[in-house]
Amino acid sequence: MKTILSIFTTVIILTFLTAFSTAGTTAPQDLPEKVEAFMAALIETLDVVPGYAIAIAGPEQALFVKGYGTTKAENGAPVDSHTQFYIASSTKSLTALAIASLAERGLLDLDTPIKNYLPSLAGAPAGEVTLSQLLSHSHGLMEEALTLRTAFTGDYTQAILINIIRNLPLSETPEAFAYSNTGYVIASLVLEQTFGKSWKTIVEEEVLNPAGMTATTAYVSALQDDYARPHSWYGVKNSFPLVKQDSTMHAAGGHFSSAADMARWLQVQLSGGSINGETIFAPGLVAGTHLPRVELDAEFYTYKRHHYGYGWYQADYDGMVMYHHFGSFSGYRSHVSFIPELGIGVVVLINDTSRPGFNLPDMIANYVYDLASGKETPETPYQAEIAKIAEMIAPMAGHSPPDRPRNAPGDEAKYVGSYSNPEFGTFHFEMKDGELQVSIGILSSKTTYMDDGAIRMELTPYQGTLGVFQEDENGTITGFRFRGTSYTRLD
């Protein structure tokens, strides 16, 4: 097998060398042609991701905006510059700028305790944190229920969320950086309580409309018919239903966008608030969101992250400062970054989150930055990486995921019922077509059983999770335990 894979790796590298041997000399003005050649070789070598949307922009104009592949593996429309992809946590930079814009006009105070905006939090640890801390992930609040309800199940009211927040504990190092959705979700409640309208409307009014980002939306119900569908490669490109609804499009990860719109967003960042030479945002406003607010020491792919601002990481890239925010969610990955020293930014959106494709957006962006920085053969370091991925997937290619045996006990109907936790919500188990199925909020799944009796669910596609039913000494089912949390049986 090693010999076969070594030969396969050699073929892959030769494919890349051939693709670039006639592409001409590397220079910034050749950027579009070089990117085209790189993408052609990548797609030919790794038939993993159904669709890509790429934007490269400078402070004054878009330099390259193009789509590749299709919105769906089977019978999908061609991806173009206006195709909508879910950008997940890349939303945070949009939300942060909207809040900073309101603060710049004196309508919010980023440094006052949020109990002044949410009086019901008075006396609670959460009431003492500030918007600045919420936006920079330095608030110290620890939770899982808020994220589960707002990002996954959609089972919440504002009253439920506030009650959860009131009871959140602080970490032992509350001012240290700890990435989560928590701060942005709480900040969105401040917006809604203060201004009497949805955070989605506020981001649209403060950011999207001024920036002319007309394809960017926080509403699944407003998506175009040909938006990019989610996939996960496992031998073949597996498409699956979108598990997002309007209710789970939240302020920490709640927008679909296009390459064309994100090119405008990059221009805003690199120019300090202008698009195509026209001033859109107040002087200093955009740059203020880039300022380092909290230190950290972390790595993602090739990036050594050292600070976080409002919606933006700062990282070292080849001795230069890269500002970025990425996103991932079932079926989607986004890369949004810019390097002021080079005067360009890159966005790569894909509709796949499988292991083979996960870091391809980052690799593509790195190639663009290496090209822009004048490296002689910037494709060289990525040939081995591409070959390694191709080698890894070769044994699986062409094979669909195997069906899991159910291993169901003969008396599984005894589990039918509702199991509730006041913070996290309610699981509902019922028999359908002779099998136990589960739902919580908008999520649902069939079930299988592990050898130890644990029940396996895929509440989000291709991401299995385990739960265990609990029983008393008489064998009566009394509860359900999921991710360390107990849910009490109601019936």
pLDDT tens digits for 110-166? 999 999 999 999 999 999 999 999 999 999 999 999 999 999 999 999 999 999 999
368: containing domain: 2-94+202-393
Please check whether residue 115 lies inside any domain of the structure: no
Tell me the C-alpha to C-alpha distance, in Å, between residue 245 and each of 81, 151, 442: 24, 10, 8
Q: Is the confidence at residue 4, as pLDDT, over 90?
A: no
| Number of domains present in the structure of the chain | 2
For residues 286, 289, 290 and 292, what is the CA-based torsion angle, rounded to 10 degrees?
150
| Closest CA relative to residue 85, chosen from 289, 275, 231 | 231
Mean pLDDT for the chain? Answer: 93
Which has the higher per-residue pLDDT, 18 or 189? 189
| Same-domain status, 447 and 328 | no
pLDDT per position as a tens digit, 373-397? 999 888 988 988 998 899 989 999 9
| Same-domain status, 422 and 356 | no
Name the burial class of residue 166, with classes exposed (0-12), middle (13-18) and buried (19+) by CB atoms within 10 angstroms of its CB: middle
Of 393, 424, 445, which residue is a domain's last? 393
| Same-domain status, 470 and 385 | no
Q: Give me the helices (H) in 105-177, please.
A: 131-135, 145-147, 158-166
Give residue 21's pLDDT: 37
Please check whether residue 111 lies inside any domain of the structure: no
| Same-domain status, 365 and 237 | yes
Cβ proximity of 58 and 340 under 8 Å: no
Please check whether residue 264 lies inside any domain of the structure: yes
Q: Is the confidence at residue 190, as pLDDT, over 60?
A: yes
pLDDT per position as a tens digit, 246-274? 999 999 999 999 999 999 999 999 999 99
Please check whether residue 117 lies inside any domain of the structure: no
CATH code, domain carrying 29? 3.40.710.10
| Same-domain status, 444 and 318 | no
Q: Is the confidence at residue 10, as pLDDT, over 60?
A: no
Task: For strands 455-460 and 344-350, give the pairing.
Answer: unpaired
Average pLDDT over residues 284-309: 98
Please check whether residue 170 lies inside any domain of the structure: no
Contacts of 330 (CB under 8 A, 6+ apart): 230, 232, 240, 243, 353, 460, 461, 462, 463
Cβ proximity of 83 and 69 under 8 Å: no
Q: Is the confidence at residue 20, as pLDDT, over 70?
A: no
Q: Is the confidence at residue 32, as pLDDT, over 50?
A: yes
Number of other CB atoms surrounding residue 355 within 10 Å: 14
Of 365, 393, 421, which residue is a domain's last? 393
Give residue 2's pLDDT: 37
Give residue 227's pLDDT: 98
Please check whether residue 448 lies inside any domain of the structure: yes
| Same-domain status, 429 and 388 | no
| Same-domain status, 270 and 337 | yes
Would you give the DSSP letter of residue 207? I
Q: How far apart are CA 477 and CA 486, in angstroms?
A: 13
CATH code, domain carrying 430? 2.40.128.50
| Same-domain status, 60 and 208 | yes
| Same-domain status, 227 and 368 | yes
Q: Is the confidence at residue 474, as pLDDT, over 70?
A: yes
Give residue 475's pLDDT: 92
Which has the higher per-residue pLDDT, 388 or 100? 100
Q: 491 pLDDT band (50/70/90 cuts)?
A: confident
| Same-domain status, 367 and 255 | yes
Give residue 439's pLDDT: 98
Give residue 19's pLDDT: 42
Please check whether residue 152 lies inside any domain of the structure: no
Of 188-197, 236-245, 375-384, the poorest mean pLDDT is in 375-384
| Same-domain status, 431 and 378 | no
| Same-domain status, 255 and 209 | yes
Please check whether residue 363 lies inside any domain of the structure: yes
